[in-house]
Amino acid sequence: MLKKYADKDYYYIVNNILNNNEFRKIDNCSHHGISRLEHCVRVSYYSYLITKYLGLDYEKTARAALLHDFFIGDNSSKLKSFFNHSKIALENSDNLFILSDKERDIINTHMFPVNINKIPKYMESWVVSFVDKASCIYEGSLTVSRCFKFKLQNAMVISIFLIGRFL
Ligand SMILES: [Fe+2]
Ligand SMILES: [Fe+2]
């Protein structure tokens, strides 16, 4: 995560969220075999880079992507929270921060197409949804590679193969 924090522009945009004590509680939650905070920072940072490159609203994207899985508890074993957690993340985010309509949409629709009922309204929401899925696959591959003592390169090869299957 250090590389992402070292990007001063990125850190300037998200630092008030990152340093919020309530938000930082997600660092203690397990998510795809890593900390939920680490997952959220990964999704936020790569969504920020992509939207910046595309000339989209990268500031709102970075903030909302960081908040997209802002909920406490383990979602891996509970099917209900798997489908509901975007709503909970939005409620938690609304309680602590002032969000724009676009930021709210990014958080609320990030589970598309797993949750087919919430379709992204903005390009930024589509980007975050895609980066979230790619990160899930990458993080899942890392966990598998750890289990079987593969090397990091193998996790990346598995990720690229799986992402390619979905495109
Ligand atoms: Fe999520
Ligand atoms: Fe996520």
Question: Which ligand is nearest the CA of 85, by number?
Answer: 1
Separation of CA 107 and ligand 1 centre (Å): 8
Report the C-alpha gap between 131 and 124 in whole angstroms. Answer: 11
| CB 13, CB 28: distance < 8 Å | no
- Count the residues in the chain: 167
Separation of CA 68 and ligand 1 centre (Å): 6
Separation of CA 93 and ligand 1 centre (Å): 14
Separation of CA 77 and ligand 2 centre (Å): 15
Report the C-alpha gap between 70 and 23 in whole angstroms. Answer: 7
Separation of CA 19 and ligand 1 centre (Å): 21
**Residues, beta carbon < 5 Å, ion ligand 1:** 69
Q: Is 132 exposed, middle or buried (0-12, 13-18, 19+ CB in 10 A)?
A: buried
Separation of CA 106 and ligand 1 centre (Å): 11
CA 115 vs. chain centroid, Å, equals: 15
Whether the ω angle into residue 120 lies within 30 degrees of 0, i.e. cis, is no
Number of folded domains in the chain? 1
What domain range includes position 155?
2-166
Question: Which ligand is nearest the CA of 88, by number?
Answer: 1
Question: Which ligand is nearest the CA of 65, by number?
Answer: 2
| CB 97, CB 17: distance < 8 Å | yes
The CATH code of the domain that includes 72 is 1.10.3210.10
Tens-digit pLDDT string for the chain (167 aa): 656 667 899 999 999 999 999 999 999 998 878 899 999 999 999 999 999 999 999 999 999 999 999 999 765 556 667 778 999 999 999 999 999 999 999 999 999 988 888 999 999 999 999 999 999 999 888 877 777 666 666 667 777 777 776 55
Separation of CA 157 and ligand 1 centre (Å): 23
**pTM of the full predicted structure?**
0.85
